[in-house]
């Protein structure tokens, strides 16, 4: 084992994958398949001047497998990746399958009518346009 260099990072990534698989297996055995999400797609969220932009990796899904909802200050994305054709005995399975659900609390109100979601090459992008000023507003206190 190499102490310095990329080998350490590869070992850390492998350990993280193994822990995720273990946690998924425990959830599935405790809650039963289909009652709890079985995987957690990675997400990046960028804050821009006029909008929040969320990017989520969802390889192998079709548009019909993805549900995006905005409700007040919450964004929820859920879906399901189905197992591939069973045309033989699996020797190794690393790609997660099953349901997922990710919810995010938005820091500021967004215009629900202007929210756009696009999906291309296994990547979902959700653009959430901001409503109102992005800077704090100072209010004058009136005497009663």
> Which residues lie closer than 8 Å to 117 by C-beta, 6 or more apart?
66, 68, 124, 125, 126, 127
The pTM of the full predicted model, rounded to 2 decimals, is 0.66
51 and 69 together in one domain:
yes
Task: Give residue-wise pLDDT tens across range 54-72.
Answer: 999 999 899 999 999 998 8
Say if 55 falls within a structural domain.
Answer: yes
> C-alpha angle 71/76/80, rounded to 5°?
140
31 and 71 together in one domain:
no
8 Å CB contact between 125 and 117 = yes
Q: Quick check: 44 pLDDT over 60? A: yes
> 62 exposed, middle or buried (CB, 10 Å; 0-12, 13-18, 19+)?
exposed
Integer Cα distance of 127 and 108 in angstroms: 14
8 Å CB contact between 36 and 26 = no
19 and 59 together in one domain:
no
Say if 88 falls within a structural domain.
Answer: no
78 and 128 together in one domain:
yes
Integer Cα distance of 50 and 110 in angstroms: 10
54 and 113 together in one domain:
yes
1 and 68 together in one domain:
no
Domain that holds residue 51: 41-83+96-133
Task: Give residue-wise pLDDT tens across range 90-122.
Answer: 788 888 888 999 999 988 888 888 999 999 999
């Amino acid at each position: 084992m190499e102490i310095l260099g990329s080998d350490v990072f590869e070992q850390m990534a492998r350990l993280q994958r193994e822990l995720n698989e273990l946690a998924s297996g425990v959830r599935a055995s405790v809650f039963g398949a289909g009652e709890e999400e079985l995987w957690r797609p990675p997400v990046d969220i960028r804050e821009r001047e006029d909008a929040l932009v969320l990017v989520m990796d969802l390889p192998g899904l079709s548009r019909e497998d993805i549900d995006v909802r905005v409700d007040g200050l919450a964004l929820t994305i859920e879906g399901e990746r189905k197992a591939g054709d069973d045309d033989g005995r699996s020797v190794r399975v690393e790609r997660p399958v099953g349901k997922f659900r990710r919810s995010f609390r938005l820091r500021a109100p967004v215009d629900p009518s202007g929210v756009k979601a696009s999906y291309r090459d296994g990547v979902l992008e959700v653009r959430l346009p901001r409503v109102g000023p992005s800077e704090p507003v100072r209010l004058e206190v009136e005497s009663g």
